[in-house]
Structure 1
Protein backbone atom coordinates (compact mmCIF):
# COMPACT_ATOMS: atom_id res chain seq x y z
CA UNK A 1 0.00 0.00 0.00
CA UNK A 2 1.20 3.49 -0.77
CA UNK A 3 1.46 5.88 2.19
CA UNK A 4 -1.12 8.30 0.80
CA UNK A 5 -3.87 5.71 0.45
CA UNK A 6 -4.49 5.79 4.18
CA UNK A 7 -4.91 9.56 3.95
CA UNK A 8 -7.32 9.81 1.05
CA UNK A 9 -9.10 6.48 0.83
CA UNK A 10 -12.04 5.86 -1.46
CA UNK A 11 -13.59 9.27 -0.87
CA UNK A 12 -11.01 10.67 -3.29
CA UNK A 13 -12.06 8.19 -5.97
CA UNK A 14 -14.51 9.14 -8.70
CA UNK A 15 -16.76 6.62 -10.42
CA UNK A 16 -16.95 6.97 -14.19
CA UNK A 17 -18.45 4.97 -17.07
CA UNK A 18 -15.93 2.59 -18.62
CA UNK A 19 -14.80 2.97 -22.21
CA UNK A 20 -13.26 0.32 -24.45
CA UNK A 21 -9.99 2.21 -24.03
CA UNK A 22 -10.03 1.21 -20.33
CA UNK A 23 -9.69 -2.48 -21.22
CA UNK A 24 -5.89 -2.72 -20.85
CA UNK A 25 -5.88 -1.18 -17.38
CA UNK A 26 -8.88 -3.29 -16.32
CA UNK A 27 -7.19 -6.44 -17.61
CA UNK A 28 -4.05 -5.60 -15.62
CA UNK A 29 -6.16 -5.48 -12.44
CA UNK A 30 -8.09 -8.66 -13.33
CA UNK A 31 -4.84 -10.54 -14.05
CA UNK A 32 -3.59 -10.03 -10.49
CA UNK A 33 -6.81 -11.23 -8.86
CA UNK A 34 -8.22 -14.16 -10.82
CA UNK A 35 -6.92 -17.63 -11.66
CA UNK A 36 -8.46 -17.27 -15.14
CA UNK A 37 -8.08 -13.54 -15.86
CA UNK A 38 -9.82 -11.79 -18.72
CA UNK A 39 -7.66 -10.32 -21.45
CA UNK A 40 -7.89 -6.72 -22.57
CA UNK A 41 -9.43 -8.00 -25.83
CA UNK A 42 -12.15 -9.88 -23.95
CA UNK A 43 -12.96 -6.85 -21.82
CA UNK A 44 -12.98 -4.52 -24.84
CA UNK A 45 -15.26 -6.94 -26.72
CA UNK A 46 -17.65 -7.09 -23.76
CA UNK A 47 -17.76 -3.30 -23.54
CA UNK A 48 -18.61 -3.21 -27.24
CA UNK A 49 -21.57 -5.55 -26.73
CA UNK A 50 -25.13 -4.30 -26.42
CA UNK A 51 -26.41 -4.31 -22.83
CA UNK A 52 -22.90 -4.63 -21.35
CA UNK A 53 -21.34 -1.67 -19.59
CA UNK A 54 -19.03 -0.90 -16.74
CA UNK A 55 -17.90 1.63 -14.21
CA UNK A 56 -14.29 2.44 -13.33
CA UNK A 57 -12.89 3.93 -10.14
CA UNK A 58 -9.92 6.11 -11.12
CA UNK A 59 -7.72 7.92 -8.63
CA UNK A 60 -7.91 11.70 -8.60
CA UNK A 61 -6.13 13.08 -11.66
CA UNK A 62 -3.71 14.96 -9.39
CA UNK A 63 -2.21 11.53 -8.59
CA UNK A 64 -2.23 10.21 -12.14
CA UNK A 65 -5.80 9.01 -12.52
CA UNK A 66 -4.85 5.31 -12.45
CA UNK A 67 -7.77 2.88 -12.22
CA UNK A 68 -8.17 1.45 -8.71
CA UNK A 69 -11.00 -0.91 -9.65
CA UNK A 70 -13.85 -1.58 -12.03
CA UNK A 71 -17.12 -3.46 -12.42
CA UNK A 72 -18.70 -4.91 -15.58
CA UNK A 73 -22.44 -5.59 -15.87
CA UNK A 74 -24.91 -7.02 -18.33
CA UNK A 75 -28.60 -6.18 -18.38
CA UNK A 76 -31.41 -8.36 -19.66
CA UNK A 77 -35.07 -7.43 -19.29
CA UNK A 78 -35.38 -5.92 -15.81
CA UNK A 79 -32.28 -7.56 -14.30
CA UNK A 80 -28.58 -6.80 -14.16
CA UNK A 81 -25.82 -9.33 -13.69
CA UNK A 82 -22.43 -8.33 -12.38
CA UNK A 83 -20.00 -10.09 -14.69
CA UNK A 84 -16.92 -9.16 -12.68
CA UNK A 85 -15.71 -6.68 -10.12
CA UNK A 86 -12.04 -6.16 -9.35
CA UNK A 87 -10.14 -3.80 -7.06
CA UNK A 88 -6.35 -3.47 -7.02
CA UNK A 89 -4.98 -5.35 -3.99
CA UNK A 90 -3.43 -2.20 -2.51
CA UNK A 91 -6.86 -0.52 -2.62
CA UNK A 92 -8.85 -3.42 -1.15
CA UNK A 93 -10.33 -2.64 2.24
CA UNK A 94 -10.47 1.10 1.51
CA UNK A 95 -14.05 1.29 0.25
CA UNK A 96 -13.43 1.17 -3.50
CA UNK A 97 -15.48 -2.00 -3.98
CA UNK A 98 -18.27 -0.58 -1.82
CA UNK A 99 -18.28 2.65 -3.87
CA UNK A 100 -18.45 0.70 -7.13
CA UNK A 101 -21.27 -1.49 -5.83
CA UNK A 102 -23.21 1.50 -4.46
CA UNK A 103 -22.90 3.12 -7.89
CA UNK A 104 -24.19 -0.07 -9.54
CA UNK A 105 -27.19 -0.20 -7.20
CA UNK A 106 -27.97 3.50 -7.73
CA UNK A 107 -27.80 2.95 -11.49
CA UNK A 108 -30.10 -0.08 -11.20
CA UNK A 109 -32.58 2.01 -9.20
CA UNK A 110 -32.50 4.86 -11.76
CA UNK A 111 -33.06 2.36 -14.57
CA UNK A 112 -35.93 0.75 -12.63
CA UNK A 113 -34.34 -2.68 -12.68
CA UNK A 114 -35.96 -5.27 -10.44
CA UNK A 115 -32.79 -7.01 -9.29
CA UNK A 116 -29.03 -7.32 -9.54
CA UNK A 117 -27.36 -10.74 -9.51
CA UNK A 118 -23.76 -11.75 -8.90
CA UNK A 119 -21.67 -14.79 -8.14
CA UNK A 120 -18.92 -14.89 -5.53
CA UNK A 121 -16.60 -17.70 -4.50
CA UNK A 122 -17.56 -19.13 -1.12
CA UNK A 123 -13.95 -18.64 0.02
CA UNK A 124 -14.06 -14.89 -0.73
CA UNK A 125 -15.42 -13.98 2.70
CA UNK A 126 -14.64 -10.25 2.47
CA UNK A 127 -16.55 -9.82 -0.80
CA UNK A 128 -19.49 -11.94 0.38
CA UNK A 129 -19.69 -9.87 3.58
CA UNK A 130 -19.71 -6.63 1.56
CA UNK A 131 -22.49 -7.91 -0.68
CA UNK A 132 -24.57 -8.98 2.33
CA UNK A 133 -24.04 -5.55 3.91
CA UNK A 134 -25.33 -3.99 0.68
CA UNK A 135 -28.50 -6.09 0.82
CA UNK A 136 -27.61 -9.07 -1.36
CA UNK A 137 -28.88 -12.47 -0.25
CA UNK A 138 -27.78 -15.95 -1.31
CA UNK A 139 -30.38 -17.44 -3.64
CA UNK A 140 -28.45 -20.44 -4.93
CA UNK A 141 -25.04 -21.93 -5.54
CA UNK A 142 -22.93 -23.51 -8.26
CA UNK A 143 -20.88 -26.43 -6.89
CA UNK A 144 -17.24 -26.59 -8.02
CA UNK A 145 -17.74 -23.50 -10.21
CA UNK A 146 -14.49 -21.57 -9.76
CA UNK A 147 -11.16 -23.14 -10.58
CA UNK A 148 -8.34 -22.08 -8.29
CA UNK A 149 -4.66 -21.85 -9.15
CA UNK A 150 -4.29 -25.56 -8.37
CA UNK A 151 -6.69 -28.32 -9.37
CA UNK A 152 -9.14 -27.40 -6.61
CA UNK A 153 -12.56 -26.02 -7.39
CA UNK A 154 -14.69 -23.76 -5.25
CA UNK A 155 -18.44 -23.33 -4.97
CA UNK A 156 -19.95 -20.07 -6.21
CA UNK A 157 -22.68 -18.40 -4.19
CA UNK A 158 -25.37 -16.84 -6.38
CA UNK A 159 -26.57 -13.64 -4.72
CA UNK A 160 -29.42 -11.27 -5.56
CA UNK A 161 -30.30 -7.75 -4.51
CA UNK A 162 -33.92 -6.76 -5.04
CA UNK A 163 -33.79 -3.17 -6.27
CA UNK A 164 -37.48 -2.48 -6.64
CA UNK A 165 -40.04 -3.94 -4.25
CA UNK A 166 -41.83 -6.99 -5.54
CA UNK A 167 -45.52 -6.20 -5.99
CA UNK A 168 -47.86 -8.66 -4.37
CA UNK A 169 -50.65 -10.12 -6.48
CA UNK A 170 -54.13 -9.14 -5.37
Structure 2
Protein backbone atom coordinates (compact mmCIF):
# COMPACT_ATOMS: atom_id res chain seq x y z
CA UNK A 1 0.00 0.00 0.00
CA UNK A 2 1.42 3.42 -0.89
CA UNK A 3 0.30 6.69 0.63
CA UNK A 4 -0.49 9.54 -1.70
CA UNK A 5 0.15 13.10 -0.69
CA UNK A 6 -2.58 15.55 -1.51
CA UNK A 7 -1.44 18.12 -4.06
CA UNK A 8 -0.39 21.45 -2.55
CA UNK A 9 -2.74 24.41 -3.00
CA UNK A 10 -2.09 26.36 -6.19
CA UNK A 11 -1.65 30.13 -6.45
CA UNK A 12 -3.53 31.98 -9.20
CA UNK A 13 -4.84 35.49 -9.86
CA UNK A 14 -7.89 36.58 -7.87
CA UNK A 15 -11.03 37.36 -9.90
CA UNK A 16 -14.31 39.03 -8.98
CA UNK A 17 -15.98 35.60 -9.02
CA UNK A 18 -13.69 34.61 -6.11
CA UNK A 19 -14.85 37.34 -3.76
CA UNK A 20 -17.59 35.31 -2.03
CA UNK A 21 -15.10 32.55 -1.16
CA UNK A 22 -12.48 35.13 -0.16
CA UNK A 23 -15.04 36.82 2.11
CA UNK A 24 -15.76 33.49 3.82
CA UNK A 25 -12.04 33.13 4.64
CA UNK A 26 -11.74 36.81 5.63
CA UNK A 27 -14.71 36.82 8.01
CA UNK A 28 -13.57 33.54 9.55
CA UNK A 29 -10.10 34.89 10.23
CA UNK A 30 -10.69 38.43 11.52
CA UNK A 31 -12.81 40.25 14.06
CA UNK A 32 -12.65 43.33 11.82
CA UNK A 33 -12.60 41.91 8.27
CA UNK A 34 -12.27 43.78 5.02
CA UNK A 35 -15.58 44.44 3.32
CA UNK A 36 -16.65 42.90 0.04
CA UNK A 37 -16.24 46.38 -1.42
CA UNK A 38 -12.58 46.50 -0.33
CA UNK A 39 -11.86 43.41 -2.42
CA UNK A 40 -13.95 44.54 -5.41
CA UNK A 41 -12.30 47.98 -5.36
CA UNK A 42 -8.83 46.43 -5.13
CA UNK A 43 -9.52 44.24 -8.15
CA UNK A 44 -11.01 47.16 -10.10
CA UNK A 45 -7.91 49.25 -9.30
CA UNK A 46 -5.67 46.53 -10.72
CA UNK A 47 -3.90 45.70 -7.46
CA UNK A 48 -1.82 42.56 -7.27
CA UNK A 49 -4.25 39.96 -5.91
CA UNK A 50 -3.84 36.20 -5.85
CA UNK A 51 -5.69 33.31 -4.24
CA UNK A 52 -4.35 30.01 -2.96
CA UNK A 53 -6.69 27.24 -4.10
CA UNK A 54 -6.94 23.69 -2.76
CA UNK A 55 -8.55 21.07 -5.03
CA UNK A 56 -10.98 19.96 -2.30
CA UNK A 57 -11.46 23.02 -0.06
CA UNK A 58 -11.35 25.79 -2.65
CA UNK A 59 -9.79 29.11 -1.65
CA UNK A 60 -7.67 28.69 1.47
CA UNK A 61 -5.63 31.91 1.35
CA UNK A 62 -4.93 35.09 -0.59
CA UNK A 63 -3.04 38.34 -0.73
CA UNK A 64 -3.74 41.83 -2.04
CA UNK A 65 -0.90 44.29 -2.65
CA UNK A 66 -0.72 47.76 -4.17
CA UNK A 67 2.18 48.85 -6.38
CA UNK A 68 3.71 52.28 -6.05
CA UNK A 69 6.86 54.01 -7.19
CA UNK A 70 9.63 51.49 -6.50
CA UNK A 71 7.55 49.73 -3.85
CA UNK A 72 4.87 47.17 -3.15
CA UNK A 73 2.50 47.63 -0.21
CA UNK A 74 0.95 44.44 1.16
CA UNK A 75 -2.62 45.34 2.11
CA UNK A 76 -4.02 41.95 3.10
CA UNK A 77 -2.63 38.45 3.46
CA UNK A 78 -4.80 35.74 4.99
CA UNK A 79 -4.83 31.98 5.42
CA UNK A 80 -8.09 30.22 6.35
CA UNK A 81 -8.03 29.36 10.05
CA UNK A 82 -8.37 25.62 9.33
CA UNK A 83 -5.27 25.79 7.11
CA UNK A 84 -3.04 27.83 9.42
CA UNK A 85 0.15 26.26 10.73
CA UNK A 86 0.98 24.49 7.46
CA UNK A 87 3.40 27.04 6.01
CA UNK A 88 0.89 28.67 3.68
CA UNK A 89 1.44 32.13 5.18
CA UNK A 90 5.13 31.80 4.37
CA UNK A 91 4.28 30.61 0.84
CA UNK A 92 1.96 33.58 0.27
CA UNK A 93 4.55 36.04 1.55
CA UNK A 94 7.22 34.49 -0.66
CA UNK A 95 4.84 34.85 -3.62
CA UNK A 96 4.32 38.54 -2.79
CA UNK A 97 8.08 39.05 -2.61
CA UNK A 98 8.62 37.23 -5.91
CA UNK A 99 5.95 39.37 -7.59
CA UNK A 100 7.56 42.55 -6.29
CA UNK A 101 10.96 41.48 -7.61
CA UNK A 102 9.40 40.46 -10.93
CA UNK A 103 7.97 43.98 -11.20
CA UNK A 104 11.38 45.48 -10.35
CA UNK A 105 10.17 47.00 -7.08
CA UNK A 106 12.78 47.71 -4.41
CA UNK A 107 10.77 47.59 -1.18
CA UNK A 108 7.84 45.68 0.31
CA UNK A 109 5.86 47.44 3.05
CA UNK A 110 3.13 46.23 5.37
CA UNK A 111 1.28 47.11 8.56
CA UNK A 112 0.44 44.56 11.22
CA UNK A 113 -1.56 44.85 14.42
CA UNK A 114 0.73 45.46 17.37
CA UNK A 115 -1.01 42.57 19.20
CA UNK A 116 -0.49 40.08 16.34
CA UNK A 117 2.68 38.49 17.69
CA UNK A 118 2.37 35.41 15.49
CA UNK A 119 2.34 37.45 12.27
CA UNK A 120 5.09 39.78 13.49
CA UNK A 121 7.30 36.77 14.24
CA UNK A 122 6.65 35.33 10.77
CA UNK A 123 7.47 38.64 9.09
CA UNK A 124 10.68 38.93 11.13
CA UNK A 125 11.72 35.37 10.15
CA UNK A 126 11.29 36.38 6.50
CA UNK A 127 13.55 39.41 6.93
CA UNK A 128 11.07 42.23 7.53
CA UNK A 129 12.25 45.00 9.88
CA UNK A 130 9.98 47.01 12.16
CA UNK A 131 10.47 50.62 11.08
CA UNK A 132 7.57 52.58 12.52
CA UNK A 133 4.17 52.76 14.13
CA UNK A 134 0.80 54.11 12.99
CA UNK A 135 -1.14 55.13 16.07
CA UNK A 136 -4.81 54.09 16.14
CA UNK A 137 -4.62 52.51 12.68
CA UNK A 138 -6.83 49.46 13.25
CA UNK A 139 -10.34 49.21 14.71
CA UNK A 140 -10.48 47.35 18.00
CA UNK A 141 -13.22 46.20 20.40
CA UNK A 142 -15.26 48.70 22.37
CA UNK A 143 -14.79 51.55 19.86
CA UNK A 144 -11.07 51.76 20.58
CA UNK A 145 -8.22 51.67 18.09
CA UNK A 146 -5.03 49.60 17.92
CA UNK A 147 -1.62 50.73 16.70
CA UNK A 148 -0.07 49.21 13.60
CA UNK A 149 3.58 48.27 13.39
CA UNK A 150 5.03 49.29 10.02
CA UNK A 151 7.44 46.75 8.56
CA UNK A 152 9.71 46.88 5.53
CA UNK A 153 11.59 44.32 3.46
CA UNK A 154 14.21 45.24 0.89
CA UNK A 155 13.39 43.29 -2.28
CA UNK A 156 16.22 44.53 -4.48
CA UNK A 157 19.64 45.90 -3.57
CA UNK A 158 19.69 49.69 -3.16
CA UNK A 159 20.56 51.46 -6.40
CA UNK A 160 24.09 52.78 -6.73
CA UNK A 161 23.82 56.54 -6.38
CA UNK A 162 27.42 57.34 -7.25
CA UNK A 163 27.92 60.56 -9.17
CA UNK A 164 29.99 60.41 -12.38
**Normalization by structure 2: what TM-score?**
0.88
Equivalent-residue separation in structure 1 for 2:135 and 2:125 (angstroms):
24
Quote how far apart the aligned CAs of 1:33 are: 2.4
Q: For residue 160 of structure 1, give the secondary structure of its aligned residue in structure 2.
A: strand
Q: What is the rounded CA distance, in whole Å, between the counterparts of 2:145 and 2:85 in structure 1?
A: 25
User: C-alpha deviations, 1:60-79, integer Å up to 9, x for none?
Assistant: x2x25x11111001101211
Aligned position for 1:93: 85
Which secondary structure does the structure 2 equivalent of 1:169 belong to?
Answer: coil
Going by fraction, where is strand more abundant, 1 or 2? 2
Cα distance change, pair 31–134 in 1 and its aligned pair in 2 (3 A): same
Q: Deviations over 1:57-98 (max 9, x none)?
A: 111x2x25x111110011012111111111111111111111
Cα offset for 1:168? 4.2
2:13 to 1, 17, 27: 17
Q: Which runs of 5+ in 2 are unaligned?
A: none
Q: Which residue of structure 1 aligns with residue 34 of structure 2?
A: 38
In our comparison, the structure showing a higher alpha carbon Rg is 2
TM-score after normalising by structure 1: 0.85
- Structure 1, residues 13-63: CA drift from partner, whole Å, max 9, x if none? 11111111111111111112233322323312211113x12111111x2x2
Correspondences of 1:4-153 after superposition (within 5 Å): 12-50=8-46, 52-59=47-54, 61=55, 63-64=56-57, 66-153=58-145
Note the residue ranges of structure 1 that are not aligned, 5 or more in a row: 1-6
Say how many residue pairs are matched: 158
Separation of aligned partners in 1, 2:159 and 2:67: 21
1:23 touches 1:41 (CA, 8 Å); kept in 2?
no
